[in-house]
Structure 1
Amino acid sequence: MTFLDCVFACLVAPLELLFEVIFFFSYKFSNHVGLSIVALSLVVNLLLLPLYFQADKIEKEQKEKKKRMKKWTDHIKKTFKGNERVMMLQTYNRINDYKVTDVFKESISLFLQIPFFIAAYRFLSGMKLLQGISMGPIRDLGSPDGLIKLGTLSLNFLPIFMTLINIAAGFVYSEKGQIKDKIKLILVALVFLVLLYDSPSGLVFYWTLNNLFSLGKNIVSKLRQHSNEEAKEEKTSESSKKPGMDMGMIFLSGAVLAIATGLWIPSDVVSQNPLEMINWFISDPYDPALYMVSSFLNAVGLFLIWIPLFLYIMRNKMASIASYIMASAAFVCVMNYFVFNKNFGLLSEKLIYENPMRYKISDTVLNLLADIAVIAVCVFVVNRFSKYVKVFLVVTIVAISTIFFLNVRLIESLLADFSYEYANTAEDVMVPLSTEGQNVVVIMMDRMMAQYLPYVFNERPDVAKQFDGFTYYPNTASFGLYTNHASPAVFGGYDYTPEELNARSDELLVDKHNESLRVLPTIFADNGWEVTVGDPTYANYQWIADTGIYDNDERIHAYNMSGVFNSSSELFVEVGEDFENRLNRNLFCYGFMKSMPYFCQSALYASGSYTQIDNYFGRDTQIGNVIDSLTEHTQIGIYETYYSNYLALAALSDVVEIRQDDQNCFFMFSSGVTHDACLLQEPEYMPAELVNNTEFDEAHKDRFIVDGVELHIDKNCPALTYANYQTNVAACIELGKFFDYLRENDLYDNTRIIIVADHGNLQQEFDDMMIKDWNFSAQAVNPILMVKDFNSTDFSTSYEFMTNADTPYLALLGLVENPVNPFTQNPIRSDKSGEMHIYVSNEKSTVTNNGTRFEDPDEVWISVKDNIFEDDNWDFYEYKG
């Protein structure tokens, strides 16, 4: 980040965000671009009106002082020379309280306009929403107007009109000014003409409105000046006594706000999973903690530059309340995040929640009352004990700064051994499968729902045919709600359930997790099989699988797959820059939003767009995944993480190396396609930059009732349910294509395929899966399990009780005699004669849940046996581990 970038982030970016927020809500209310530009100009000018009045006053006072001093200044310059003249001028200036820097006060209005001009220019000239929008005679607000036609010559009317208004406003302002002042105003107006002549007409229209407002302000100011001339003289001595302003209180409060919104809250987000926040879509990924530089500079600009500057210039009118406002804002900010912080499911790397942001009325009222109480206490204490308030502000700064530094330390520790690159390229990935030998393929589809399958096959019979030979086990349980609890048992079997992992309390969870990922590859390799692994889940507890866990065994070939195929899609060419801009902008927006009262948060969150106009209103589709929670049928943008996983799954057919020999081959692959939910364009179920399934969903409502059992779309979060369902359909479509490829190349009949998931979801979409008297659905621990054995035909369903820990047993069945776990020396088994003990906890992050045991003060252990669909088979389990 260059010095100019830092200056921009401090001075211009906060203003650009202000413009965007005003325009966003204006357009959302009016649905008219022209009216929104008018509203933007009006609101900004009204906000700045007191500031400009004060700036004009300072300028006039300075000019009057120079005018009074001019006679003696000219006399000194004429009479004295050399050092004597310098000393005389310095003495005279000191007597009149005039400093060399006071010359800048004469142009304070111009200096104020520069950052506002840059912010407006960047905001409106880059807004895609303006493109193609007409207003009156202007055909396209996103292009120069070209309204004046002189034969073949086309001139832009708005910049010329804007310049005339600008000159008129300047002449009114400097009615009795010197000729050089008028020349300066004309030159400034001409500079603006040159700068804006070829700009989008929407931007010039905005600036023309500003100049009209300025002209009106100057006329009113002149009228007020003439009518109040005598009153002004009478009050001169009184007004010269400017009320004091506690700038110490203001800057300490501003520091709390800047550190909280720019560092503390953003660092909480990044530290949750720094690997996920890495921008893999640029050529040179870097430490995601550096995004906090932008968020902090934005916060510094708002809370330590612009707001204090505004308060200082307005000190005559704001002195009595400024301290109350800033101190109250600081303490309310800290309390709202520290006490009332509420999450809405998983937060993606683009700071978009998995579920819509909706607060209960009771929660909103409680939060508002708490904020009012804090404000009341602040006003009282600031009024009586301002010294102690400053001390408490300093303590708060130290406290939240300490949390920030601890978060940064955590981030750096998690990234300490990270190389910021994949272990391989797409060209390196090679999965050997044999036509003459036997193949075993285990595909772990993260969070793929077992109960969705009948609905998928009912809607897509063509896909159902591709799963010929599979046996579907709907009566399947997992051992946890989330990947870090439940996936070890998938790969390693019953030695790696949460209960068994906790029993080995002298070993780190990450080591036991890595061990589970090595069980099947090691057994197959020991028996002479060619072994390949793709994207081993949470390997080394890294978001991007650390394939180095297999480095000690050269017989195992492990690859990164999700992400390495991104270059095959043109979409990812521009995504990196968009991702960068989004995080640099939205980390501060997230921090600011989280510091606000509940009733403001949803509006500022704006479905994950954080009032970014082109993203929310569908003009910027390169990055997004903003699901419209009001319609649940539309989505703006493609979820890049999903698309990376999708491309990896779709590439399976491309990476297979067909061996024409009798070598046995084993392939274990993990996919997040069914985990990173987003809407897909129906009926193709393909990622699309603009998704609109309104008509299709309305016409196919009946697809969610199969054999009298309804998949409740609208029971919990419709948008998320649609997204989950659609990503499951897409997964089945891509798996079906892979199976067809195997058939076409004589690889299907001699291949055993296991499709399994680590867990289900918490949506509660099926009535028959709700446990009586519990607010819990068996769907949460009901993963997909399908097995196609060698030479099997026809699709079948078995209601035999299974768990996903049966996967190793099923993979090895009949291939390895009496298989034994090479690390625990326990037999690979499938014994479900007793109860299965399930760990229920929301401590899902490997960042915080990485000790030697799964431990959570709010954890619950439950048990199930025989049939997950029978309430009587469920019970609470008293864990004594």
Structure 2
Amino acid sequence: MFYSIIILPIETIIDWVFTFCFNKLSSFGIISCIVGVSLVINFLALPIYNLADKLQAKERDIALKLAPNVKRIKTAFKGDEQFMILQTYYKQNHYHPLYALRSSLSILIEIPFFIAAYHYLSHCEKLLGTSFWIFKNLAAPDHIFSFTLAGHLFYINILPILMTLINFFSGIVYSKNAPIKEKFQIYGIGLVFLALLYNSPSGLVIYWILNNLFSLVKNIVLKTKAPGLITFGFISLMFALLTFYFWAFQPETSLWKKEALTVLTILLILSPFAIRLIKKHCTKLLASIDCVINSLDSKKQFTVFILSALSLSLLMGLYLPSGIISTSPVEFSFLGSIDSPFYYIKDSLYMFLGLFVFWPCCIYFMFSQKIKQYMPFVFITLLIFVLGNVFIFKPEYGNLNPAFEFSDNSIFTDIPKYYTLLSALIIVLVPVAFFLLIKFRKTFVLSVILASLLLSEIVISATKLKTINNIYSSYQTEYYSQKSDIETEQIKPIYHLSKTGNNVLVFFLDRAVSSFFPYVLEQHSELQNQFKGFTYFPNTLSFGRNTLNGLPPITGSYEYTPDKINLRDGELLKDKHNEALKVMPKLFLDAGYSVTVVNPSMANYSWGNDLSIYSDMPSVTALNLTGNFTERYKAEKNIKNLSGDPGVLCNKQIKNFSILQGMFPPVRIIFYNTIKSDSSLAGSFVNDASQLYYLDQLTDSNGSENNFVYIGNDTPHDPIFLDASLERPSEPVWETAGNYKCHDTNVLQDYDVNAAAILLLGRYFEYLQKNDLYNNTKIIVVSDHAYYHHYSAFDSFSDATVPSAYNCLLLYKDFNSDSAVKTDNTLMTNADTLYLLKDGLALSDVNPYTGKALIPDTKQSVKVYPLSKNNGNNPTFNLNETQFKFDTPCWEIKENIFDPANWKSFNYYQEAGK
């Protein structure tokens, strides 16, 4: 708790600055990150340091003034008499011996900043193997010189020594007229830091050297006649240089960001002149304003300040995180090293209490009355500003994963202009309103409102915490009871196929892109033999561009297309989704097949794939395998530094997302690009790709006569860059796309993960061929949708992202089929999956749940339905819904899907008469 309240707010700011510099100032190398962190932290702490220095100087002057008489008293008197006379003398001079502790105040303030920087930079993966000048690895001690003594190798680290020398020189400047005791304290602390940091990472020592240089320059500047002017000039220069850098060397940065930075820099430079003009021409107005503000007594002033600070802390640290987690507690459970979702809420609450209560209270009680008077204005304005941005001026965030990543950044840029205007108006109107309440002595009204808001946050959060607890407790039991032993030393087969009976395999690849397949096949020649007997259907559509309305037709056929599902408006979407997931297994089970289902997507509208939907079919083997082979795969492929622990990442990002929600709308995209992490996508890739990689070890030929296996897998779902082997996360390697034309890096990432999935399946099919399990196996590879990126198959469209999203993958191999891969341009949909499986098999022609005949569609045309971006594709927000909500337009497509003329838009609600 101590760390989260006091240290973590500082470390969070360090992380923001470091990551921003890493992303935007990369041309200067990693050193720009360390310099940026040092400058920002020192300037933020500068007012506190200056105050501590003033108090220290005041104590020093009084102590020097009293020293002669104190010495005489100690010489002339002893014992109790000496003590009483000294106490009286100190009292007469408004001094207390404890004031001597003021000389240690700057050190006490420095400790939290030191701990935060030490912890962050000591664990910073970006420093690993990174060099600067003569220092080869900033994540390790510099080891510049070495020598051997008595057969032992010793290293001399010059950076800590340089740091200490600068510290001593700064101490000489700072303590020029200080007593010996204070000088010893300064030099003693310098030696302590030498011992502490001698074997620390070079990056951390460089950071501390920069801090000492800053302190040295600060002490020199404070002794000049105009320290404020020099400081302002330096800050203005930094902003001017930053503006020049972005205009000259960052062409990829959007124009409006450069213009905004330029305007901000100009306003900063002109601010002293503006302040001087206001003071010159508005003297009476400013005096009357001060008079009104001064009329607010300190008790009411503190009440408004602390209630605003507490409300802000509970909003950001309790209400928002609990609200997010309560939508899908399972998804936030058992992430990496963190089991309980309550951990994220607790740590978030502590951090925001530190950021908005602890540190502001330190400022409130340390600084002058003038500062105290304005702090209620700042915090009530900040609170209303954040409330407006969280609840009113917000985008539709859509689906969130535990790393808080968005697949479509346009939600931050496609914002109404009035959002920006109204949000900015809050900053002006709230202080004016508060001023009027003070003037008319109605601040008690504000206090009541703030107290009510505080209570409301607590009550609503408590209900969400109860929801989280109920779901987590239930899932916890299920998690431990179903925890697989597959991640132990030996992988045990779970797919039991037969060499004599029929094997039917369905591979559902979430978000697999159809148009990549022929290019992957061409690029990797071994696939031609591995996929022998397959037919590729390029002219295939999904009925939706999301899993919620793209998956049910795969497993349940045409009775579960989005429009048909909406006709059954007396049933929950969740129940219809579950029913669709069960149709295919039930048909095969009733036909006497042994049935295995793995990773049924969004079962029970749960992100964790709730297997309880198969509880009425005890003969079905239902499993969740996500993550079971991750560590084994990482070890085998030597994959390191995926930024590892998803729980740790989630714990950091849930705080960042709270901040993002409360931000000024135009700034959100900048902040998001700063804090977003690709590490969880890399982790997701490994979680899913490892399941396909070990398919051969998970399979044996000890199955019963006939076997049906359904495998859901997300390998293509989370796009990342892969290396040339397409097995490990990497920096961009354009050659991995072969002859495919990638319009941007988003498409390259899509291609990489899709190609990886195809190669892993090819590897498995080769295993089946070698083990006499291929000819008697029918296989379908299908996806629920692609994605709305610009894929080259649709270059002739004015907006290629529309058709791209619906062109799902469909591959089919029948029994005893071993010809070369064929292409069939027949118009197909993923709802044809069930009919391809049924062909030639003695399966029922009746849906076991509705009693309706399973009849294939004639496909004169296909209608596709985009789910509403207003959480229409989020299962959590649809738990109690009975119908899908669609965006406009929907599309009707005939014959060739690659011809723009065949796409006709329509309005679903007009056609349905709604």
TM-score, normalization by structure 1: 0.81
Question: 1:710: which partner in 2?
Answer: none
Question: Which of 569, 579, 594 is matched with 1:530 structurally?
Answer: 594
1:132/1:142 contact within 8 Å kept: yes
Quick check: 208-217 or 732-741, which moved more? 208-217
Counterpart amino acid of residue 752 in structure 1: K
Q: Structure 1 residues 143 and 416 mapped into 2: Cα distance closer, same or farther (>3 Å)?
A: closer
SS of the equivalent of 2:608 reads coil
Partner of 2:232: none
Do the aligned residues in 2 keep the contact of 1:294 with 1:585 (CA within 8 Å)?
A: no
What is aligned with 1:379?
Answer: 431
Distance 1:831 1:695 in 2: 41
- Write the mapping of 1:84-163 to structure 2, written as runs, cut at 5 A: 104-130=101-127, 141-145=138-142, 154-163=155-164
Q: Deviations over 1:433-476 (max 9, x none)?
A: 11111222222222223333333334334324432222333333
Q: 1:125 to 1:91 in 2, by over 3 A?
A: same
Question: Distance in 2 between the 1:399 and 1:364 partners?
Answer: 29
Partner of 2:309: 254
- Tell me the CA shift for residue 750 of structure 1: 1.5
The answer on 1:431 being equivalent to 2:498 is: no
Residue number in structure 2 paired with 1:849: 878
* d(CA) in 2 for partners of 1:499, 1:547: 26
Distance of 1:722 and 1:530 partners within structure 2: 40
Partner letter of residue 686 of structure 1? E
1:569 counterpart = 2:633: yes
Q: Find 1:520's aligned residue among 580, 584, 600.
A: 584
Q: Does structure 1 residue 495 correspond to structure 2 residue 552?
A: no
8 Å CA contact 2:404–2:653 kept in 1: the answer is: yes
1:735 aligns to what?
761
Residue 54 of structure 2, aligned match among 47, 53, 57: 57
User: What residue number does 2:422 align with?
Assistant: 370
Gaps of 5+ in 2: 227-290
Question: Is residue 270 of structure 1 aligned with residue 267 of structure 2?
Answer: no
Shift of 1:172: 4.9
Q: Which residue of 2 aligns with 1:753?
A: 779
Q: Which amino acid aligns with 1:596?
A: M
Q: Structure 2 residue aligned with 1:781, among 789, 806, 810?
A: 806
Amino acid at match of 2:775: D
Partner of 1:485: 549
Shift of 1:418: 0.6
Rate the CA distance shift 1:433–1:205 in 2: closer, same or farther, 3 A. closer
Contact 2:73 2:82 in 1 (8 A): no
Q: Is the 8 A contact 2:536 2:812 kept in 1?
A: yes
User: Quick one: distance in 2 between partners of 1:374 and 1:37?
Assistant: 35
1:417 counterpart = 2:474: yes
Partner in structure 2 of residue 235 of structure 1? none
Write the mapping of 1:163-174 to structure 2, written as runs, cut at 5 A. Answer: 163-170=164-171, 172-174=173-175
TM-superposition CA deviations, 1:506-558 (whole Å, max 9, x none)? 44333332232222222222222222222222223332333333333332222
Deviates more, 1:594-603 or 1:785-794: 594-603
Q: Are residues 1:703 and 2:761 paired?
A: no
Partner of 1:547: 611
**2-side partners of 1:168 and 1:833: how far apart?**
83
Partner of 2:655: 588
Map of 2:712 onto structure 1: 670
How many angstroms apart in 1 are the aligned matches of 2:409 and 2:565?
35
Identity of aligned residues (%): 30
1:604 to 671, 680, 684: 671
Q: Hey, what's the Cα distance between the residues in 1 that align with 2:522 and 2:857?
A: 33
SS across alignment from 2:378 = helix
Q: Deviations for 1:627-670, whole angstroms, at most 9, x for unmatched residues? A: xxxxxxxxxxx611122111112222222221487x12111221
Q: Secondary structure at the match of 1:12?
A: helix
Matches within 5 A, 1:271-310: 271-282=326-337, 285-310=338-363
What is residue 189 of structure 1 aligned with on the other side? 190
Q: Which residue identity lines up with residue 829 of structure 1 in the other structure?
A: I
The offset of 1:114, in angstroms, is: 1.0
- Alpha-carbon distance in 1 for matches of 2:18, 2:710: 51
Query: Does residue 652 of structure 1 match 2:695?
Result: yes
Instruction: After TM superposition, give the deviation of residue 95 of structure 1 in Å.
Output: 7.9
Distance change (3 Å), C-alpha of 1:32 and 1:312 = farther
Deviations 1:130-182 (A, max 9, x none): 45556566565444445677886654444344434434544554555444334
- The one-letter code of the counterpart of 2:658 is G
Give the Cα separation in 2 of the matches to 1:85 and 1:429: 87
Between stretches 431-440 and 132-141, larger displacement belongs to 132-141
What is the one-letter code of the residue matched to 2:548?
N
CA distance in 2, matches of 1:862, 1:587: 37
1:204 is aligned to 2:205: yes
Per-residue deviation at 1:112? 0.5
Distance 1:464 1:35, change over 3 A: closer
Aligned length: 816
Deviation at 1:578, TM superposition (A): 3.3
8 A contact 1:348–1:354 mirrored in 2: no
Deviation at 1:844, TM superposition (A): 1.1
Amino acid at match of 2:731: V
The answer to whether the 8 A contact 1:677-1:723 is kept is yes
Letter in 2 for 1:447: R
The aligned counterpart of 1:686 is 727
Instruction: Name the stretch that deviates more: 842-851 or 348-357.
Output: 348-357
Distance 1:202 1:554, change over 3 A: closer
CA RMSD of aligned residues (A): 4.1
Contact 1:254 1:303 in 2 (8 A): yes
From the superposition, tell whether residues 653 and 160 of structure 1 become closer, same or farther in structure 2 (CA, over 3 Å): closer
Displacement of 1:853 in angstroms is 0.9
SS at match of 2:875: coil
The aligned residue for residue 902 of structure 2 is 871
CA displacement at 1:377 relative to structure 2: 0.7
Tell me which moved more, 461-470 or 854-863: 854-863
Q: Distance in 1 between matches of 2:148 and 2:684?
A: 54
Number of the residue aligned with 2:856: 830
**CA distance in 2: counterparts of 1:836 and 1:202, whole angstroms:** 59
3-state SS of paired residue (1:848): helix
Cα 1:395–1:859 change in 2 (3 A) is: farther
Q: TM-score, normalised by structure 2?
A: 0.79
Letter in 2 for 1:671: N
User: 1:703–1:554: structure 2 CA closer, same or farther, 3 Å change rule?
Assistant: same
CA distance 1:281–1:578, change in 2 (3 Å): closer
**Residue equivalent to 1:18:** 13
Match of 1:31 in 2: 28
1:325 maps to 2:378? yes
Q: Distance in 2 between matches of 1:644 and 1:207?
A: 39
The 3 A distance-change label for structure 1 pair 343 and 392 is: same
SS in 1 for 2:497: strand
Q: Is residue 353–residue 608 contact of structure 1 (8 Å, CA) maintained in 2?
A: no
CA drift at 1:598: 4.1
- What amino acid sits opposite 1:782 in the alignment? N
From 8, 21, 26, give the equivalent of 2:3.
8
